[in-house]
Structure 1
Amino acid sequence: MVMMGYVRSNYLSKYTYDVKLGEGTFGCVYKAFNKDSGEVVAIKVLKYNQDVQNNLHEVMVLSKIQDHPNIVQLKETIAESNVLGLVFEYMDCSLCKLIRDVKLGRRVCSEVWVRNCCFQILKGLDHMHKSGYFHRDLKPDNLLVSRGGIVKIADLGSATEFKPDAPNTEQHIGTLWYRAPEVLMESSYGPTIDMWAMGAIMAELFLLKPLFPGIRSTDQLYKIYSMIGSPDDLSWLGADADLYEFPPLKEIPFVKLMCHVSKEAFDLMAQLLSWNPSKRPTATEALRHPYFKPCYEVQTT
């Protein structure tokens, strides 16, 4: 049975379905209500076929890392007939939609709001990385926001366990605009790709548009080095370093792109968007950056 648009039925009969929130190759996400408690939830209805292992991957990852206020909560998993339903806590919108709405309203995101948003995302990432996993597809679409300003990491279908002795090499991961150079250059990678994506997202919150809007991998690399400058050292690529040569372009200072942004914000973005993965701060280190000092002052007052 396929559910489209506004549907109310006995399908996953514990819930009454309302609007469709999203759709992809995996299936659909619906806003729904628990018939007994009235609680609002979001249900991801997956295609339940022979590839059950892929469908259950997100469930497995969430079972390992979801006990954190900045990672979306999976409430239950329901298997009925030929579908699998993942019942999540309901969040009001994605960060992508929020950015779009701010831009359409000809407004800007205040630095106070951007700081608080990034602080929450980094806390979720810190928990995830310390639990041995990294997201691999961090982007505004996969970050959810509540009306109260709570930000949560979602859509962990691409997340994977990090094993230092067996680095990841799968290249067709992550959304192009937020894909780290080491992935684009077909090198091994780890949790530092999430930190690169975090830098791109932070810049997008100030710009209200993607920082590196490439259309293919080669163009994406061009967008990166034309913005942050050509790399002066590719030794981190190992034996593959000789395969790449970049024209000598200088970086465009962030201050020319963004007005009324603090020097601490510029410094953090520059660190996160380092060519060399080993020079990017970890989530723990980023949370200690002076940019977030006001967040800790609020927590202690």
Structure 2
Amino acid sequence: MDMCPERLRYELLAEVGEGSFGKVYKAREVGEKRRLLAVKKFNFSMSPQEAGIPPSMIREVALLRKVGHFNHPNIVKLLDASAESVGSALDLTLVLEYIDQDLSTFLSKAPACGLSRDLVKVRSDVMQQLLQGLDFLHTNLVLHRDLKPANILVSNHGEIKIADFGLARIHTFNIALTPGVVTLWYRAPEVLLNTAYMSSVDMWSAGCIFAELFLLRPLFKGYSEVQQLQKIFEVIGLPSEEEWPQESPISYSESLGPRGSVTKLLPNLDQDENDLLFRCLSFDPSRRISAANALAHPFFMKL
């Protein structure tokens, strides 16, 4: 039994994951609540020759503390964070609410034939809660920048929570935005083209996730940035040269995909489903739908 004596007290139940910096455990709180917890334990060398705590982890803790004050139901909660020096190393422990599975695992359990029309409510619930979380983040100028099924948690009660804020940033007008963000299959064209971007990058990722709720596989599955662009343009059509961002270091080429606008992105989608997907996957980020406007889309008015 491993206890946290002065802070939130818990007992470790099982190791559920391991990364390059540490391990993740399922735990149970000691006391009256007895709630399940996710405990992440990391160990970093603090010697001058080592890098120390990665900036992404510092940023994640800071952002989770910032948004945690609002107690939003669709954002994973950081319940405790502590650091302890052990010789020339630093042990960092994060305690978060425990959620049963991520969206990737949830979709992997779906029937091979896919989520049926009878389960349209599942898609609606997932997207509605995801968009509510994104609307909250964007209203508070937070860009998640790595939205994908593995970073969306799904409880046994159908609660959706956005997690993993290692790449998240507070958006300011003079922010230095890095191009290597968002897992490749969910990366917006403006990021692939190494041009300026804003909160609409998260809405592109949300659109990719929306499509995955129907396909049960990633919509754009490229293995390089150029191939990813080609996969995107095969579906949405190659934009005109006038629409191509002039500041992009990648030159416009008709070899990237078929020309012409596309009005129906996926077969078997009804009008509202297709329209919401179309608005999320607009090449021009200024025309891409916002989370707030997406929540008012007719797709969510069906049920």
TM bin (shorter chain): 0.7 to 0.9
Secondary structure of residue in 2 paired with 1:86 = strand
Equivalent residue, structure 2, for 1:170: 178
Equivalent residue, structure 1, for 2:187: 179
Distance 1:291-1:26 versus aligned 2 partners, 3 A rule: farther
Are the counterparts in 2 of residues 58 and 156 from structure 1 also a CA contact under 8 Å?
yes
Are the counterparts in 2 of residues 264 and 291 from structure 1 also a CA contact under 8 Å?
yes
Q: Structure 2 matches for 1:179-218, cutoff 5 A? A: 179-218=187-226
Equivalent residue, structure 2, for 1:126: 135
Are the counterparts in 2 of residues 12 and 78 from structure 1 also a CA contact under 8 Å?
no
Equivalent residue, structure 1, for 2:12: 17
Q: Structure 2 matches for 1:207-286, cutoff 5 A? A: 207-232=215-240, 234-235=242-243, 237-240=245-248, 243-247=251-255, 249=258, 250=260, 251=262, 253-256=264-267, 259=268, 261-286=269-294
Distance 1:270-1:31 versus aligned 2 partners, 3 A rule: same
User: 144, 150, 162: which is aligned to 1:141?
Assistant: 150
Distance 1:242-1:22 versus aligned 2 partners, 3 A rule: closer
Measured in 1, the distance between the counterparts of 2:294 and 2:154 equals 21
Measured in 2, the distance between the counterparts of 1:216 and 1:23 equals 27
Equivalent residue, structure 1, for 2:49: none
TM-score after normalising by structure 2:
0.86
Secondary structure of residue in 1 paired with 2:92 = strand
Distance 1:136-1:101 versus aligned 2 partners, 3 A rule: same
Measured in 2, the distance between the counterparts of 1:108 and 1:18 equals 33
Paired letter, 2:115: V
TM-score after normalising by structure 1:
0.86
More helix, by proportion = 1
Q: Deviations over 1:5-55 (max 9, x none)?
A: xxxx43646322122333323422211112324221011222334433623
Measured in 2, the distance between the counterparts of 1:241 and 1:288 equals 36
Distance 1:73-1:271 versus aligned 2 partners, 3 A rule: same
Secondary structure of residue in 1 paired with 2:76 = coil
Between the two proteins, what is the percent identity of the paired residues? 36
Q: Deviations over 1:223-246 (max 9, x none)?
A: 111111111255462333882223
Secondary structure of residue in 1 paired with 2:254 = coil
Distance 1:46-1:57 versus aligned 2 partners, 3 A rule: farther
Measured in 1, the distance between the counterparts of 2:168 and 2:22 equals 18
Instruction: State the 1:216 CA deviation.
Output: 1.1
Secondary structure of residue in 1 paired with 2:64 = helix
List gaps (5 residues or longer) in structure 1: 1-8, 296-301
Matched, 1:43 2:50: no
Measured in 1, the distance between the counterparts of 2:242 and 2:125 equals 34
Are the counterparts in 1 of residues 195 and 247 from structure 2 also a CA contact under 8 Å?
no
Are the counterparts in 1 of residues 194 and 249 from structure 2 also a CA contact under 8 Å?
no
The alignment yields a C-alpha RMSD, in angstroms, of 2.1
List gaps (5 residues or longer) in structure 2: 47-51
